[in-house]
Amino acid sequence: MEEYLVQLTPQAEQQLRAIVHHISHELLEPDTAAALLSALEQAMASLHILPQRTPLVEEEPWHTQGIRKLLCRNFLIYFGVDTSAYRVQILAVVYARRDQLKQLRNITSLS
């Protein structure tokens, strides 16, 4: 079984930093922020094996583009899979209670 390389886009990295900063500095919960960061990193790293195990996004045009999602705690991790290059590209990390359609529209395309 081939393993996939998991990479974050700059957009996803920025979102992850913003999430951790918000929880740690604005909600004053640094331990919670650290635990969430660890959980999100583990969830993303788990995509190195069988990334297609997660569902495709239902909405178009993202469904046709092969964008998938993975739920981790209260966050959705959006990603694309390049099976020919064995690469997973994390596109976005979004709080699940946000307007997901709006968030999908803001995702930078797969490169």
> How many other β-carbons are positioned within 10 Å of the β-carbon of residue 103?
17
The whole-chain average pLDDT of the chain stands at: 94
Taking only the tens place, the pLDDT of each residue in 73-83 is: 999 999 999 99
Give the confidence band of 42 by pLDDT, cuts at 50, 70, 90: very high
Collapsing DSSP states into helix, strand and coil, what is residue 48?
A: helix
Exposure b/e, 2-40, CB count within 10 A at least 16 = b: eebebebbeebeebbeebbeebbeeeeeeeebeebbeeb
- Domains, the chain, ordered by start: 5-106 (3.30.2310.20)
| Whether the predicted pLDDT of 108 surpasses 80 | no
Beta strands per DSSP E along the chain: 5-8, 68-72, 75-82, 87-95
Mean pLDDT within 17-24? 97
